[in-house]
Amino acid sequence: MRFLIMLEQTETGFAVQAPDLAIATYGENIEAAKRAASEVIRINLEAYREAGQQAPEGQSVSNHLENPEFRDLLFAYVDVAEPHGRIAA
């Protein structure tokens, strides 16, 4: 699965947001930030799955690109493995 992330350079690295899942993380460089984002997204999806809930529906990329609050951010995609495990009954 592919997820859109937004990166913002800070004094110590890169802050990362996954806007469709309302999560954030951090990495010392872009690659570390992308790896951290993939892991946090995977954990988030597993939590939804274990709770028996659907993850929020993603917005179109153009919605995020046109958002003035995100104007100065770098956009990228990360690949995340499908969560495995049991689904709560």
**Residue range 54-85, pLDDT digits in tens:** 988 888 888 888 989 888 899 999 999 876 65
Domain locations along the chain = 2-79
Instruction: Kindly tell me if the per-residue pLDDT of 87 is higher than 70.
Output: no
Rounded Cα gap, residues 38 and 55, in angstroms: 15
Q: Who's near 53: CB < 8 A, 6+ residues apart?
A: none
Q: Does domain 2-79 have CATH number 3.30.160.250?
A: yes
Instruction: Kindly tell me if the per-residue pLDDT of 8 is higher than 70.
Output: yes
Segment 25-40 mean pLDDT: 97
